[in-house]
A and B are shown apart, each in its own frame.
Chain A
Amino acid sequence: DAGVIQSPRHEVTEMGQEVTLRCKPISGHNSLFWYRQTMMRGLELLIYFNNNVPIDDSGMPEDRFSAKMPNASFSTLKIQPSEPRDSAVYFCASTPDRGGVNEQFFGPGTRLTVL
């Protein structure tokens, strides 16, 4: 298995531009998570999907952030308009959600820089 796949790996954009981050979870995993990592705040959960349905989006910082999961093999995280304070590494993770044993597997991350 290729693991969790994220694209792009690096993104540099200017303030006000739309940014779309992409994630392909591990095949057969039915839960998907988007995290953000910064020096100041560490790793924070943004949103969690189960069977393509958003379950908990309480971590989404504001309305500029939106996430979708149109099918079991693809998810996007969109920021519109982007701001310099959105600069961070964004991770996607997936888990098979087998009762209590739900080990999360992380993608390599997308390093976002907003100028």
Chain B
Amino acid sequence: KQEVTQIPAALSVPEGENLVLNCSFTDSAIYNLQWFRQDPGKGLTSLLLIQSSQREQTSGRLNASLDKSSGRSTLYIAASQPGDSATYLCAVRGGYNKLIFGAGTRLAVHP
């Protein structure tokens, strides 16, 4: 059974720092991995999707890497801003489009 773990559970940093959020999964037989952002009381916004054949994806200040063989992904946020404060969720896709989510990392960036 696929299990997804995210570390750390919470993170508080001053503005401007570069951050690394970690995601690990137990079954390497995945189709892709997706990183989401969730603001309090809101839905999920897709940030990046990495196919199983890819090593990384970049969007603006965000970079996500995938090491399928070791069951790990990282989300790198450069030059963090207070507007980046949110919960970040990673999810792996197995068979039948089924997404298995981690518990999330709650990020607070203070001015």
User: Using a Cβ–Cβ cut-off of 8 Å, how many residues does chain A contribute to the interface with B?
Assistant: 25
A108 touches B42 (CB 8 A): yes
1/0 per position for B40-83, CB-CB distance to A under 8 A? 01111110010110000000000000000000000000000000
Q: A45-B99, A48-B96, A48-B97 are in contact. Are A102 and B32 (CB under 8 A)?
A: yes
In the bound assembly, the distance between CA atoms of A110 and B64 in angstroms comes to 30
Q: What distance in Å separates the Cβ of B69 from its nearest Cβ neighbour in chain A? A: 18
- Chain B interface, >50% SS class: strand
CB–CB B99/A104 < 8 A = yes
Q: Which residues of A contact B45 (CB under 8 A)?
A: 106
B residues whose Cβ falls under 8 Å from a Cβ of A: 31-32, 34, 36, 41-46, 49, 51-52, 89, 91, 93, 96-104
B44 touches A42 (CB 8 A): no
Q: Are A42 and B99 in contact (CB under 8 A)?
A: no
| Cβ contacts A97-115/B at 8 Å (1 or 0 each) | 1001111111111010000
* Interface residue? A55 (CB, 8 A): yes
How far is it, in angstroms, between the C-alpha of A44 and the C-alpha of B32 when the chains are bound? 18
